[in-house]
Amino acid sequence: TSQLDGIIYLPVDHPLVQVDTIRQLLAVARESSAPLVIPTYLGNRGHPSFFRANLFTELNDPTLDGGARTVVHRHLSEATLIPVNDSGVLADIDTPESYECALQ
């Protein structure tokens, strides 16, 4: 992991994220030293998030309650938020109903 700058964390229940959003996230992460880069849509934080390598120890902590969400909250004041034109960053598809809605 010492050769990695960071990772993009994209939960599988957010399948509608556009490729351009991921490109934007990577471009900002390359230019920023922020530990987190998070997309926003209409002011709401979404997925995927870029986690810099210095957060890996926290992310891998087996005693961490809340997983990546806890790490985001711990470092939110240091994060770079990027507005994107992609409602897919907020589209959380967890149920058959949300899947049907996403197909519309």
Cβ contacts of 8-11, under 8 Å, gap ≥ 24: 8/48, 8/49, 8/50, 8/51, 9/47, 9/48, 9/49, 9/50, 9/51, 9/68, 10/47, 10/48, 11/47, 11/48
- Mean predicted confidence (pLDDT) in 6-20: 94
Residue 2: the pLDDT is: 59
Give residue-wise pLDDT tens across range 49-102.
999 999 999 999 999 898 899 999 999 999 999 999 999 999 989 998 888 888
Residue 59: the pLDDT is: 93
Give residue-wise pLDDT tens across range 18-54.
999 999 999 999 999 999 999 999 999 999 999 999 9
Domains and CATH numbers, the chain: 6-103 (3.90.550.10)
